[in-house]
Chains A and B, each alone.
Chain A
Amino acid sequence: MKHDPQDKLDRLHKQSMKGQIGRRDFLKFLGIAGPASGLALALPSVAASAPAGLSEDEMVILSHLPDQQIGKKYPKGETINVGFLCALSGPDAGWGLPGLTGNNIWVDAVNKTGGLLVGGKRYPLKLHAFDDEANAAKALQGARQLVLEHDVKFISAIGGDAANSTAPFLTKHKVIYASLVPTDCHPDKPYVVAGGDITPQCNMFNALMAKMVLPSEKELGRPLKYALTTQDDIMSRQVGAWEIGAAIAMGFDIVYEEFFSVETTDFAPVVSALMATNPDVISLCEAWPEYQTMMWEQLFLQGYKGVVVQNYADWETNLTKIPAKYAAARQAIDSFPLMDDPWWGETSWQKSFTDVWNQRYGPGAPEDVKRRMTGIDWDHMIWLIPWSIGAQVAGKDAPGKWPSNDAILAALRKLPSFPTILGPGHMSGKEMFGIDNMIEEPVPMCMFNLEAKDKRIIAHLNFEPWYASIKNVVLKAVKKRGQYWTQR
């Protein structure tokens, strides 16, 4: 079978025609045209002469800012400190450590222009990192250090247990905590923002995509079966509830929904238990990168033949354990696109970011990280940029001083749309999480491509219209699992 993104889309359309889902609905979900959403913005704020050391690609990256006035001189403001509070070691580090690269690229690009232009002053940015080892107590220790010693205004983080443990302290100090996962958003945590990596929306779309690629219940003569497993932590429990809700809304029978200990080192029995339910779809949900690699290996060895979906797939690692043909046959779906995916286009913001990353962190580069760029490299930066945009917008109302985080969030909420690396976004979340602290942006859905031996974007979906059509079923499932924001 040829695995080409366009072929795949065509096939999805054909399958949608078979009645699993209405074609009109499916086309509606594919709201954003792919390459167009990745195209670089025009550069209205770039002056004729760029500062020395600032590359063209970095200028493209900075084009996200509405008022940077590159090349023009402004008075210098004080240094604005930002924090990075993630697992830099341990099994969760795959979702933390790489994020430093994207944040460094953004901070350094801003600083090459003299600093972030806010209210008529240029404020240099400085990044401070703390390794919380995915431990809530250490995260609080890190938050205290970042705020009290370094006076950070903004913290990039993974979220989950750490979002809860740090929230009272960060709320008191009005410091923004940017989680990767919107399920951390809650009215009791007004400075926790999220939405960078569109979780749990992407997990929910996994159920839709699985439905698309499978034969219909009518063809099979039985209901389709959905099994989910991931590590046992707050984030996974919450995201898992939303994904299960979507799977139920898509008509799946839920045959397995179990969480394994984060101490698990042997995944053979975990996968045996999953496969014993004969699922059509296995979701690895929020499984940490190294866990999903181990589970992929077991799925291959134990002969699983259905579809596999997950939040994030690292094929460079997975393919050392399983053949590419097996991954392709499982129609492996995830939603962390590669920034060098041809889908974005040759002249795109994403391509520029890839080039800057490779020049700095790629093979033979000055800070060679001895791996290729992953989805996590840009994932944390995705909130640092809107925060910078919000600061510029809020700064217009109070020239000469750095705006408060309340003003920044208020400014972002007023914007009908602002650019993100995944496409145009806006603040949302009140209905799902009780507060508009989530960025809602297009959700790129990827599938493993045999020819590329890697994932490729096959659709770029709008979440809100789809969610509106299934929310009653989803909310019932989420509430049944005690994971709705009013229950937490």
Chain B
Amino acid sequence: MTSQLLIQTIANAVAASSMYALIAVGLTLAFGVMQMANLAHAHVFMIGAYTVYALYALGGWPFWGAVAAALVVGAIVGLAIERTIFRPLRGDVVAGFIATAGLMFVIEVFCGEVWGWGHMRTIPSPYMRPFKIMGASVAFQRVLVIPFAVVCIGGLMIFMRRFRLGRALRAVAQDPETASLQGININMMTALALAIAGALAGIAGGLMSTIYAVTPALGGHLILPALIVVIVGGMGSVGGVVLASIIMGFVMTFVTTLVDGVTALMVSVAVMALLLPIRPQGLLGRVTN
């Protein structure tokens, strides 16, 4: 590998890691609080992407206005998922799993019927130029994801540690029964968690709508890597997601560059398979009874 290719690959990997982290962080947050996996999380990401398509590409909105709208739409969808699926099924992990799996198909068909099947939706790049650093060249749009991921994840970590509501969320994640006895409104906390997760997915989808091919199949493509990142990082651990995203971003990018994409996916799943017998709770996950 030449030094030029090495720098380019590292730049690609950093961008990919940020993208993984931004997609997966909401998924792990919702899991931490609900103790249930939201399989439709990547589909909320997709709704964010379609929101930008509808408002920016079709409606002529400014790109950043459309991304902000995607955040709001994502939060509303998250709230709706909490109210209609997670709250009625609280405590029933299997039912929640099946219900969100069904929701994936509902959202996929909804997007397909509203915005069309087949061709990817064409969303013009707002910044059609590369960002050059040390000879490497990365899409400006991808570079933007890096500070966004830092701000969103950093902000979430600060919120969880420093703010009363954030600490309440952590308390619910650790022991919902005791948290309830302390006067914490569990329903409000789960709604807050899903709203934040939805908002993060929405803004990530909006921001990356010009990077990915926006089709009704987008959510289905992204849920597997997002789940790998969350499982490797530790279900419910935001810090774990960051670490796992970096590992997965580098593994996927380097193996794709040096070998091919098929091998890269196999290696990333192998990393997960090798890690789990050693640390079933993931890299930074907590051991629970």
Contact = CB atoms under 8 A, between A and B. Distances in A.
Interface residues of A, number: 45
B168 to A, nearest CB: 36
A66 interface: no
Contact of B119 (A97, A260, A265): A97
Interface string A76-104: 00000000000011110110111000000
A467 interface: no
Contacts of B2: 276
Contacts of B72: none
Contacts of B138: 268, 301
Contacts of A261: 260-262, 264-265
B139 A301 contact: yes
B41 interface: no
A47 to B, nearest CB: 39
Interface centre among B2, B118, B210 (most CB of A within 10 A): B118
Contacts of A89: 112, 117-118, 215-217
B117 A88 contact: yes
B228 to A, nearest CB: 12
A300 B15 CA distance: 17
A320 B126 CA distance: 9
Interface residues of B, number: 48
A259 B8 contact: no
Contact of A273 (B116, B215, B222, B258): B258
A272 B8 contact: yes
A232 B265 CA distance: 13
Interface string B1-16: 1101100110011011
Contacts of B9: 269, 272
B174 interface: no
Given A260-B261, A297-B139, A320 B120 contact: no
Contacts of A97: 117-119
Interface stretch (A5-13, A169-177, A214-222, A288-296): A288-296
Contact of B213 (A272, A294, A369): A294
The 4 A-B pairs at the shortest CB distance, nearest first, are namely A97-B118, A93-B118, A269-B256, A260-B261
Interface of B: 1-2, 4-5, 8-9, 12-13, 15-16, 19, 112, 116-120, 122-125, 128-130, 137-139, 142, 210, 212-213, 215-217, 221-222, 224, 252-254, 256-258, 260-262, 264-265
12 contacts: A89-B215, A89-B217, A91-B120, A91-B213, A93-B119, A260-B262, A273-B256, A273-B257, A276-B1, A294-B213, A297-B125, A303-B130
Interface of A: 88-91, 93-94, 96-98, 232, 258-261, 263-266, 268-270, 272-273, 276, 289-291, 293-294, 297-298, 300-303, 314, 316-317, 320-323, 369-371
